[in-house]
Structure 1
Amino acid sequence: MAMKPFNAVAFAALLAGGVAIGFAGIFMRLSDVNPIASAFWRMLLAAPVLWGWALMAARGDRAVGLRTDLSTILVLAGLFFGIELGIWHLSLHYTTVANATLLSNMAPLFIALWLWLAHGTRFSRGFLGGMALALIGAVILIGPSAAGGGTHLLGDGLGLLSTTFYAAYQLVIKDARDSYSTARLMAWSTTITAIVLFPFALWMPGAFWPADAAAWLPLLGLALIAQIGGQTVIAYAFAHLPASLASVSLLIQPLTAAIAALAIFGERIGPWQLGGGALLLCGIYFSKRGFK
């Protein structure tokens, strides 16, 4: 049987989407509002664009029997993503962009843990070996923060906590994809996430409103580049590439974040952190290849 030709356009889209999401931490750091407010504006500014897309796709959704109404699963998606995004943006306030982004990419491991505990799913030796490698890498990565204590350790802890809610969000989204189109799913979940974040954005110390017109630019970058450009482009790529290539997006996001943070903020990565980050990324990559 002839092999299916490699889709170079989809692969380029996958890399571009991963790079776009990798800049999320950079835009958050450049904003002048409090961390939760930057997460709120990221969702609110993206919502009108996503709703425009969803409304244009509504006729096609109904034609193929997909839902367009609000449901419990969409509320859960918005709730989990709101909690994850709020915690992750807060972690960026205390630790480096590279650490927060690396730790947030451990979601596949938490998903596997849930599948094992809740459904008794069995995994290959390759997956288990990759998971062990990733966990060792995570311990090495946060080692300098643990030794020094203070805000960096808090930030790393928050980054690790955020990935548990991101794993829950991914599990809910996976179930919702059977009933909703990507456009409708993203529009509803983004709106609900904004609603979840709103009271916390007002309550948290620090500015809620950007100081001037220029201060809106990082927030627009979060909404248009990270939220819409990253997630939407990757969603397109996943539909045209083998599932194993999803690991590429996990590798390109923290790499982008680390390089950009070094260039813009001067955030240097020590040799231990560099080694731990490399082990973490390799572990995630091999665990995804060995996932059964």
Structure 2
Amino acid sequence: MNKPVINPFIPIFIGVISVSLSAILVKLANADSGVIAFYRMLFSVLLMSPIFLLKYTQEIKLLTKRDWVFSGIAGVFLAFHFILWFESLHYTSVASSTVLVTMQPLFAFIGTYFFFGEKISIKTIIAAAVAIAGSVLISWGDFRVSGTALYGDILALIACALITGYLLFGQDVRQRLSLITYTMVVYTSSTICLFFYVLFKGESFGPYPAIDWMWFVLLAIVPNLLGHTLFNWSLKFVSTNVISIAILFEPIGAAILAFFVFSEHIILSQVIGGSVIIVGIMLFVVDLDKIKNFFRKNA
């Protein structure tokens, strides 16, 4: 891998903090979930437009009919991921919702098995079982706290499945397009989908207080363009597994921020369940053979 100008773990750390702010900013905004998602995507598209128009418009010609269809589906999946995840934050805690949404790697192995025929190993099955056990612990604890919290957990899990679908449909297209062009196409289709969703639901596009417009713009800049862009930059210098493990700390950052911003207290079942889920996903993304060989060499 190329040698970076700065240590890649610095932008990775900033990226994790950035995406951790997503749930906080959503809860601070005083608008319906569809509206928040719409403005998050709209401002992301507007902010990316100057770069795209100056350097990447020619790549649009490379898109085939299949690319347009897959990109459109990816955008719809992304739109409804945001709608359901933002909605879940009205019913359950930031900690529970964010932990369940970051179970994405486990949904991914199911998707890659059916879409690309990738084999499922014993390690993967064990990792899935561990993570599912953790989600049951969180959901059981939330059910005991309130039935509405359990409903929020279910919405977060569906949102997690949708973001996996978004990644699977985009995987093929991304091989032929630059990050900017692919992101621009998907974000635009997602924005259009959200526009009609808000229109259909009869939710209000405005007016909103100035503070809400600030939250909308920050959602576009911080978790969308700053957080995920830094992760994508870091992929040039570190393994995807490093990024995957780093994202597992998003729920921790979100829970800490929620404690200070909203005074949300974390119950024992959330701590245990979240820890179990993180262990399960780490089992999935970490190469155990490499770890064994490392200890053998350094024994």
Matches within 5 A, 1:180-219: 180-204=177-201, 207-219=204-216
Pick from 40, 43, 48 the counterpart of residue 41 of structure 2: 43
Q: Any conservation in 1 of the 2:138–2:274 contact (CA below 8 Å)?
A: yes
Q: Any conservation in 1 of the 2:2–2:236 contact (CA below 8 Å)?
A: no
Q: Any conservation in 2 of the 1:25–1:257 contact (CA below 8 Å)?
A: yes
Deviation of 1:13 after TM superposition, in Å, equals 1.4
Q: Name 2:233's counterpart in structure 1.
A: 236
Q: Any conservation in 1 of the 2:95–2:270 contact (CA below 8 Å)?
A: no
The answer to whether residue 86 in structure 2 is matched with residue 89 in structure 1 is yes
Q: Secondary structure at the match of 2:8?
A: helix
Q: Name 2:32's counterpart in structure 1.
A: 34
The TM-score, its normalising length taken from structure 2, stands at 0.87
Q: Name 2:244's counterpart in structure 1.
A: 247
Matches within 5 A, 1:10-89: 10-58=8-56, 67=63, 71-89=68-86
> For residues 186-224 of structure 1, what are the alpha-carbon distances to aligned partners after superposition, in whole Å with 9 as ceiling and x for unaligned?
111111111111132244476532522222111111011
Relative to structure 1, the CA distance from residue 247 to residue 41 in structure 2 (aligned partners, 3 Å threshold; closer, same or farther) is same
Deviation of 1:249 after TM superposition, in Å, equals 3.1
What CA distance in whole angstroms lies between the structure 2 residues aligned with 1:239 and 1:66?
A: 24
What CA distance in whole angstroms lies between the structure 2 residues aligned with 1:100 and 1:119?
A: 29
Gaps of 5+ in 2: 290-299
**10-19 or 262-271: bigger deviation:** 10-19
1:289 aligned partner, one-letter code: V
What CA distance in whole angstroms lies between the structure 1 residues aligned with 2:6 and 2:58?
A: 27
**203-212 or 160-169: bigger deviation:** 203-212
What CA distance in whole angstroms lies between the structure 2 residues aligned with 1:246 and 1:213?
A: 35
Deviation of 1:20 after TM superposition, in Å, equals 0.7
What CA distance in whole angstroms lies between the structure 2 residues aligned with 1:26 and 1:38?
A: 12
> For residues 102-129 of structure 1, what are the alpha-carbon distances to aligned partners after superposition, in whole Å with 9 as ceiling and x for unaligned?
1111111111112234444223333332
Q: Any conservation in 2 of the 1:15–1:252 contact (CA below 8 Å)?
A: no
What CA distance in whole angstroms lies between the structure 2 residues aligned with 1:60 and 1:188?
A: 13
2:32 aligned partner, one-letter code: N
Q: Secondary structure at the match of 1:214?
A: helix
> For residues 121-156 of structure 1, what are the alpha-carbon distances to aligned partners after superposition, in whole Å with 9 as ceiling and x for unaligned?
223333332222111111111112223443211111
> For residues 214-269 of structure 1, what are the alpha-carbon distances to aligned partners after superposition, in whole Å with 9 as ceiling and x for unaligned?
22111111011111111211111122211220223322211111111111001111
> For residues 142-195 of structure 1, what are the alpha-carbon distances to aligned partners after superposition, in whole Å with 9 as ceiling and x for unaligned?
112223443211111100111111111111222111121100111111111111
**24-33 or 49-58: bigger deviation:** 49-58
Q: Secondary structure at the match of 1:267?
A: coil
Q: CA RMSD in A?
A: 2.6
What CA distance in whole angstroms lies between the structure 2 residues aligned with 1:272 and 1:132?
A: 17
Q: Name 2:295's counterpart in structure 1.
A: none
Identity percentage over the alignment?
26
Relative to structure 1, the CA distance from residue 68 to residue 227 in structure 2 (aligned partners, 3 Å threshold; closer, same or farther) is farther
What CA distance in whole angstroms lies between the structure 2 residues aligned with 1:204 and 1:151?
A: 22
1:12 aligned partner, one-letter code: I
What CA distance in whole angstroms lies between the structure 1 residues aligned with 2:17 and 2:281?
A: 18
